């Protein structure tokens, strides 16, 4: 029987890019085992911070045949993680019991070899502690028996309002994660690197849309012309002046 390999399966057809996974990850991990996750100058000209999970958004196609794709990405917990053998101190390691890749902060010297070897850019340097950090699959949560069993999942999975994230053992053919991969053509990111990433993605399912010329006219453009909208007169009452509240 194959070794247990915990992972995330992310449905790109369902993800709406709301960033609930990003904020829930930050909230849980900054105060947990893997934290803190600093935010330096978050509202300034040069913001810098540590995030275990980021959502990248792409516009694809040529107008009017375009679509928006939201692509969440974190550590993929590779079955053959290239970050592990390059670590000079043994700080990066893969757990035998569940396949999760972790970093031992007590051993990490912040040399960044792991980030250079990771083909997915999943490693983040914490400038405050001087160590490398990354997604832990909320390892301090999924085994916490003080939580209800249905709450023992990564924070990002619990927070996703569209249920775009599935968590489980991808090597167990009866798990929800393995079934989702098998039934929906789940794929690995950049398999040519040979790292066998455990996290999988479910592909966008292309739908046919017929656009008619009148649908390309902006409904909020009464002059039927591009350009700046007409502005109301300075003396026009505002909603605050017209309402009773």
HEC assignment per residue over 104-146? CCCCCCCCCHHHHHCCCCCCEEECCCCEEECCCCCHHHHCCCC
Beta partners for residue 201, in sequence order: 10, 187
Contact partners, residue 13, CB within 8 Å, separation at least 6 = 202, 203, 204, 205
Omega before residue 148 within 30° of 0, cis: no
- Please name which of 177, 176, 175, 203 lies closest in space to residue 188, comparing C-alpha atoms: 203
Beta partners for residue 93, in sequence order: 102
Q: Look over the chain and give the mean of its residue pLDDT values, rounded to a whole number.
A: 90
Q: Which helix (H) or strand (E) is 23 found in, with range?
A: helix 20-30
Q: What percent of the chain has pLDDT over 70?
A: 91
Pick the more confident residue, 212 or 57: 57
Are the CB atoms for 184 and 35 separated by under 8 Å? Answer: no
Give the tokens for residue 193.
């690197």
**pTM score, two decimals?**
0.82
Are the CB atoms for 12 and 71 separated by under 8 Å? Answer: yes
pLDDT class of 229 with cuts at 50, 70, 90: low
User: Residue 24 in 3-state DSSP?
Assistant: helix
Q: What are the pLDDT digits (tens) for 168-195?
A: 999 999 999 999 999 999 999 999 999 9
Give the tokens for residue 101.
């890749």
What secondary structure does DSSP assign to 173-214, as a single string? TTSHHHHHHHHHT-B-SSGGGS---S-EEEPP-----PPPGG
Q: Which fold has domain 6-202?
A: Alpha-Beta Plaits (3.30.70)
> 48-49 and 53-62 as β-strands: parallel, antiparallel, unpaired?
unpaired
The pLDDT of 105-130, averaged and rounded, is 95
3-state secondary structure 34-97: CCCCCEECCCCCCCEECCCEEEEEEEEEECCEEEEEEEEEECCCCCCCCCCCCCCCCCEEECCC
Residue 214 has pLDDT above 80, yes or no: no
pLDDT class of 227 with cuts at 50, 70, 90: low
- Please name which of 56, 97, 52 lies closest in space to residue 75, comparing C-alpha atoms: 52
Per-residue pLDDT at 61: 85
């Amino acid at each position: 029987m194959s070794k247990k390999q915990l992972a995330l399966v992310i449905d790109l057809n369902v993800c709406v890019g709301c960033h609930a996974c990003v904020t829930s990850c930050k909230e849980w991990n900054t105060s947990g085992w893997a934290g803190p996750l600093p935010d330096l100058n978050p509202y300034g000209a040069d913001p810098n911070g540590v995030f275990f999970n980021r959502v990248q958004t792409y516009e694809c196609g040529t107008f009017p045949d375009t679509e928006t794709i939201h692509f969440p990405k974190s550590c993929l917990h590779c079955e053959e993680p290239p970050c592990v053998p390059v670590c000079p101190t043994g700080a990066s390691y893969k757990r035998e019991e569940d396949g999760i890749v972790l970093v031992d902060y007590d051993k990490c010297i912040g040399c960044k070899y792991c980030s250079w070897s990771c083909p997915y850019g999943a490693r983040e340097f914490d400038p405050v502690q001087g160590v490398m950090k990354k997604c832990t699959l909320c390892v301090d949560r999924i085994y916490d028996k003080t939580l209800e069993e249905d709450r023992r999942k990564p924070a990002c999975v619990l927070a996703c309002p569209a249920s775009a994230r599935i968590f489980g053992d991808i090597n167990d053919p009866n798990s929800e994660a393995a079934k989702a991969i098998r039934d929906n053509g789940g794929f690995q990111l950049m398999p040519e690197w040979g790292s066998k990433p455990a996290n999988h993605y479910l592909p966008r399912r292309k739908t046919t849309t017929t656009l008619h010329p009148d649908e390309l006219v902006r409904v909020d453009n009464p002059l039927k012309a591009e350009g700046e909208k007409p502005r109301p007169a300075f003396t026009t009452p505002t909603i605050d002046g017209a309402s009773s509240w």
